[in-house]
Structure 1
Amino acid sequence: MRFSLVFTASAASASLLRRQTFGDAPQMPDSAFPKFETVTLEDAKAGLDRLIQGLVQPLNLTGDAPVESKEPETSNFRVMAATAQSAQSDACRANPNIRFEWREYSDSDRLAFVRAVKCLMNKPPSGNFPPARSRYEDFVRIHQDYMPNVHNNAKFLIWHRYYLWTFEQVLRSECGFDRAMVWWDETKDAGRFGQSDMFTNPAYFGSMPARDANGNPTCINDGEFAGLIANIGPGNSQTSHCLARGVNEADTAQCNTDFINYCNQRTSYADYESCLEYGPHGYGHNGIGGVMADVWASPSDPVFWMHHSFIDHSWRIWQNLDGNRILNIDGVDAAGNALTLDTMVYMGGIRPDVRVRDIIDTLGGVSIGGVPFCYRYTY
């Protein structure tokens, strides 16, 4: 692990951040949040996600046997795989940044991460993403602006991989976050998200209430993000509203090992992407509900980053199952253009524009703005 576990003064100072209040920000009804499209596991097996995505080539599966989802036992995997080698990737594989699962993360690390997120919420916006009212909302606004181009098409996984990495780098450079990054293994909480200590411990993300009698989400009044006002969304609007959740554990139950294992059996990137996007990805968002169920502005809920760490982890595991997948991409973007390793991925200037080949391998080690793109997960 490359990052120190010392709690720096800059990280500690974030604990003194002001707490926001709802004020006149309304509690939106469930109908205000445009939901993520989903398909059940049985429908995915029948190819419904591929129909939605417009995929016409035959579906190829590796077989019926379950696929074990974990990192390779040895860092030599990339050497054994038929991947392009370079001094950058060699150096990265020798000393990658490690993303630790929430249960492996110390309490000090958890608090440092939450406080770094709050730090961004209390920094002024860059001015490049109006009407964002904080540096954090710069990220929400860029997601809202790019949404039609990076959802419901094959660019979804690669763009969100860079989006998550960019968020991590801004936490480090602007809020002094100096810990290893965190990820969330949702398969271990499938069907009971609300019972995770991420939501039951008042030092973290706040509770996961059920929907009210009318089926609407509830404003979050506890945890470190109690009283948070979201100014981007719902949908493609700009209407101030409270951070709200309304958990549906029947939906979160779809973020399970069986669904992940089925997606892992698909052999082409485009087929895998559609399975994951309309399966566990969409169900995780809709299951948490409220702001997280807003396909345009879901990053307003800081749980977004935890959920997408799970999605990125799932993709990395799929890549690791066959070395030929590591530098392989297919499918089309929202405009119908074929994705290649030279397709550009844009981040609105928050970090440099990159090519797919720069970020498709998490152990590629390509320097982006002077920082190597280099990480792996604990398992």
Structure 2
Amino acid sequence: MARLFSVALLAAAVQWMLFAGLVSGDAVQDLQKKVRPNLDAAIAKSKTCTKEKLQIRKEWGDIPAAEKKQYIAAMLCMMSKPSKMDQKKYPGVKSRYDDFVAVHINQTMNIHGTGSFLSWHRYYTWAFENVLRTECGYTGTQPYWDWAKWSADPEKSPIFDGSDTSLSGNGKKISHKASMYGPAGNGGGCVETGPFKNMTVHLGPISPAVDPAPPRNPRSDGYGDNPRCLRRDISNYLSSRYLRTQDIVTLLNSKDLNTFQNVMQGAGGAGGAGMGVHSAGHFTIAGDPGADFYTSPNDPAFWLHHGMIDRTWSIWQMQDLNARVNIISGGTSMMGGFGGKQQSLDDNVDLGVVADKVYKIRDLVSTVDGPFCYTYDS
């Protein structure tokens, strides 16, 4: 009890100091280090994970250039491998990479604003990492995007600077209108720099939030073949407001899972503004397909964004692993719509052709149990 009290006091003190401008260090990483002993205790109790097996996920800016290039090469490899889906049912699914996009499209309304949002995306991101390794020879771990580190100017981050060790840069600057999420940025057109400048997007759009609108898909479900370029409209409008260290600390101070999920996804959001870190990350990238929450995995930066989503959840959990792991909150359909029932830890998570096994949510709530054995650098 004393340890939990001290962790809570630390988080509250850090939050106050950040808002007061008294500290400038990485308060999120400081908190992660503080609660690391709790994770070590969980590893000691795990039936599947050991300290020797534990894999460490790192921030993109901290990864050596050779490993960045290997990660990029593995993604390009996935984009060149044939799909495992039925081509008659899914004619727009052209590659192994597209398989992941199609799975996300198919389950979108049951994995956002639901009790499975965090666990589903944890398994989904891990499955992507696993395919990179087993099918494309990647030997590293899934990187993440530390939002706060680059919140003042994401375009100049090593993720989006357009170099050969980036995930490509902004889109070409074109004339376009503001979106409902903020003013038009300095891009909007096709990505013309970096490793993914020649990438072809095939699926969607389904719910585009971009100007000019992408061409309509030949099928209403978005599974038709609709070849076009990768577009982005990266700016700091949202990142400098909702992806700062103090925004993440506020999220980590959530007292219960329901609050944590709602603030993360924007129900209340940072400062009550209705923009959580989840949406702010996606719409900082923006463009097509990044601003379409059905097809957003089609932007290569999706995986780093959701790596950070998972890191943030894991730090929140580590503050009290006994009370914050085997719990569930929320329904089974987006924001409780369509008459969905309450989510259960015994509900299944089935990723189809992108994963080998169907798990129950209760098997996916710890990064050091079930199929998982990883943590984040601290």
Aligned residue-pair number: 310
Deviations 1:18-51 (A, max 9, x none): xxxxxxxxxxxxxxxxxxxxxxxxxxxxxxxxxx
Please tell me whether the aligned partners of residues 38 and 320 of structure 2 are also in contact (alpha carbons under 8 angstroms): no
How far apart are 1:243 and its partner, in Å? 0.4
Q: In 1, distance between residues paired with 2:46 and 2:117?
A: 27
- Aligned match for 1:69, one of 20, 28, 47: 28
Residues 1:75 and 1:187: Cα distance change in structure 2 (over 3 Å):
closer
Summarize the Cα distance change of 1:75–1:271 in structure 2 as closer, same or farther, 3 Å threshold: closer
Is the partner of 2:152 in helix, strand or coil? Answer: coil
Q: Distance in 1 between matches of 2:162 and 2:62?
A: 16
Comparing both chains, which one has the higher relative contact order based on Cα–Cα distances under 8 Å and sequence gaps of 6 or more? Answer: 1
- Distance in structure 2 (CA, Å) of the matches to 1:79 and 1:213: 52
Looking at structure 1, the residues matched to 55 and 349 of structure 2 have their Cα atoms a distance apart, in angstroms, of 22
Q: Does 1:198 align with 2:155?
A: no
CA drift of 1:356 comes to 1.2
* Residue in 2 that maps onto 1:342: 346
SS of 2:311 mapped into structure 1: helix
| Cα distance change, pair 326–292 in 1 and its aligned pair in 2 (3 A) | same
Instruction: Report the secondary structure of 1:219's partner residue.
Output: strand
Contact 1:191 1:251 in 2 (8 A): no
Alignment check: 8 A CA contact 1:120 1:171 kept: yes
Displacement of 1:73 in angstroms is 4.8
Structure 2 CA distance, aligned partners of 1:192 and 1:110?
Answer: 21
Deviation at 1:330, TM superposition (A): 2.0
Cα contact 2:38–2:319 (8 A) shared by 1: no
Match for residue 258 of structure 2?
270
- Whole-Å separation in 2 of the counterparts to 1:281 and 1:179: 25
Deviation (angstroms), 1:229: 1.3
Mapped to 2, the partners of 1:157 and 1:87 lie a distance apart of 22
Structure 1 residues 164-198: Cα deviation after superposition (integer angstroms, max 9, x where no partner): 00000011111011123322211101131111122
- Assess if the C-alpha contact under 8 Å between 1:268 and 1:330 holds in 2: no
TM-score, normalised relative to structure 2 = 0.76
Following TM superposition, by how much is the alpha carbon of 1:78 offset from its aligned partner in structure 2, in angstroms? 3.7
Alignment partner of 1:113 out of 57, 67, 71: 71
**Superposition map of 1:77-226 within 5 A:** 77-78=38-39, 80=41, 85-89=45-49, 91=50, 93-128=51-86, 130-131=90-91, 132-203=93-164, 204-209=166-171, 212-215=174-177, 217-226=188-197
Write out per-residue CA displacement over residues 225-257 of structure 1, whole angstroms, 9 at most, x where no aligned residue.
112111111114243221000123111222111
Give the alignment partner of residue 293 of structure 1, picking from 291, 294, 307. Answer: 291
**Aligned-pair distance for 1:84?**
9.8
Q: Is the contact between residue 172 and residue 192 of structure 2 (CA under 8 Å) also seen in structure 1?
A: no
State the alpha-carbon separation in 1 of the partners of residues 55 and 154 from structure 2: 27
Residue 156 of structure 1 and its aligned partner are, at CA, apart by: 1.3
Structural RMSD (CA): 2.3
Unaligned runs of 5+ in 2: 1-7, 16-26, 178-183, 207-220, 267-275, 334-338
Q: Distance in 1 between matches of 2:237 and 2:34?
A: 34
